[in-house]
Amino acid sequence: MPRFMDNTISPYPLRIITLPIDASKLKLQSLRILNVGHLPGRIMYREHATFEKWAIVYIAGGSGTYRVNQGPVQQVESGSLFVFRPNCTYHYGPAPGGYWDEFYFSLEGSRIKEWQESWLTQLDQVKQVGTEDAAQQHRIERIFNLMESGIPGNIDRAALLVESLLFEFIQGAEASSDTPKSQQHSNLIEDLTLSIYQAFDAQAFANRHHISLSTLRRIVNDYSGFPLNTYIHRMKMAEAKNILLNTTDSVKVIASSLGYKDEFYFSRIFKKYVGVSPLLFRKSMHT
């Protein structure tokens, strides 16, 4: 377990995990975790800090302030979430004599741009997403453990978990009065996202979530605007494009990794949603 002491940051052991393998080994190239950290009882305040990559920061306890460039000083409390991004200067941390408990996730990849275009808005504002509960702690701990394993597939899963956790945080900030029903729907969409590398059985999935197949279809359509099968294929084809661009894996291998037993069926689906065959797509993007 990678824990170490740095009394300039915190009087307690820090846990920081850096991507333990070459990023080229990851299948999920559209979203990569570079490192994760837990800084319990952080006492250090930073000024004029800059970052080369994106980072998501969640404060589980304590308080302090956050400021972007020459913008206003914003209060940070337990349950706050904020963002670091390239080309900005940050001043942040607890007040003198104070502390906060910090979790951070440093990221890169094309999905971050997609977030900005849809649901991750007002990037320079502190968001109150709620205090940490047992379920959130379990998910955060799972992300850390998956990263620590050093197994490419586990690190891909960790990235998807960060995405779903962040999405739920943001949704919670926008609608703090989430009902149990909407929480159930969020968990369902998260599970769908995590199924990207599996063959998809809609009836089995619905049974696992104790809902009818028609209810599953309605929830997915309300969330995405697409029919269930279309949504699943679109997720898989988006990832197929990233694998084609960032690896030399054969079409057969890529199809199998995304849960398609028949590479020819996979190729037909790919052409339907992308417009060209997998091999032509790879060739056109590399010329």
DSSP assignment of 227-263 equals -HHHHHHHHHHHHHHHHHHH----HHHHHHHTT-S-H
* Counted domains in the chain: 2
Q: How far apart are CA 68 and CA 71, in angstroms?
A: 5
Q: How confident is the model at residue 178 (pLDDT cuts 50, 70, 90)?
A: very low
Q: Is 36 helix (H, G, I), strand (E, B) or coil?
A: strand
Whether residues 192 and 103 fall in one domain: no
Domain containing residue 203: CATH number: 1.10.10.60
Residue 177 pLDDT level (bands cut at 50, 70, 90): very low
Domain limit, last residue, from 147, 178, 209: 178
Q: How many helices (H) and strands (E) does the chain have?
A: 10, 11
Counting residues of the chain whose pLDDT is more than 70, the rounded percentage is 93
Residues 197, 268, single domain; the answer is: yes
- What the block records as the tokens of 46 is 């930073």
Considering the domain architecture, whether residues 146 and 272 belong to the same structural domain is answered as no
CATH number of the domain within which 80 lies: 2.60.120.280
Q: What is the pLDDT of residues 26-77, one digit of tens each?
A: 999 999 999 999 999 999 999 999 999 999 999 999 999 999 999 999 999 9
Is there a single domain that holds both residue 196 and residue 251? Answer: yes
Per-residue pLDDT for 182 more than 70?
no
Is pLDDT above 80 for 124? yes
From 121, 150, 178, the end of a domain falls on 178
Which carries the bigger pLDDT value, residue 137 or residue 159? 159
Segment 224-262, tens digit of pLDDT = 888 999 999 998 998 999 899 888 999 999 999 999 999
- Taking the CA of residue 119 as centre, how many other CA atoms within 13 Å lie in the half-sphere pointing to its CB? 15
Of 254 and 173, the one with more pLDDT: 254
The domain boundary residue, chosen from 127, 150, 178: 178
Looking at the structure, tell me whether residues 159 and 132 fall in a common domain.
yes
Average pLDDT over residues 13-20: 94
Query: How confident is the prediction for the chain on average, in pLDDT?
Result: 89
Distances (CA, A) of 203 to 191, 206, 213, 228: 14, 5, 6, 11
201 vs 28: CA distance, rounded Å: 22
Verify that 27 and 164 share a domain, yes or no. yes
Cβ within 8 Å of residue 244, ≥6 positions away: 254, 278, 281, 282, 285
130, 79 in Cβ contact below 8 A? yes
151 and 203 in a single domain? The answer is no
pLDDT at 13 over 70: yes
In a shared domain, residues 200 and 94:
no
Q: What is the predicted pLDDT for the residue at 183?
A: 61
Closest CA to 74 of 130, 107, 123, 120: 123
pTM (2 d.p.): 0.62
Mark whether 103 and 23 lie in a shared domain. Answer: yes
Percentage helix, strand, coil, to 5, in the chain?
Answer: 45, 25, 30
Lookup: tokens for 99: 């502390």
Per-residue confidence (pLDDT) for residue 118, from 0 to 100: 87
Q: Tell which wins on pLDDT, 286 or 206.
A: 206
pLDDT in tens, 84-118: 999 999 999 999 999 999 999 999 999 999 999 88
pLDDT at position 285 over 80: no
Burial of 168 from C-beta contacts in 10 A (0-12 / 13-18 / 19+)? buried
Residue-range definition of the domain harbouring residue 152: 3-178
* Assigned token pair, 126: 């502190």
Half-sphere exposure of 123 (CA within 13 A, CB side): 19
Q: Are residues 283 and 156 in the same domain?
A: no
Q: Within this chain, do residues 189 and 251 fall inside the same structural domain, yes or no? A: yes
pLDDT at 269 over 80: yes
Q: Are residues 101 and 200 in the same domain?
A: no
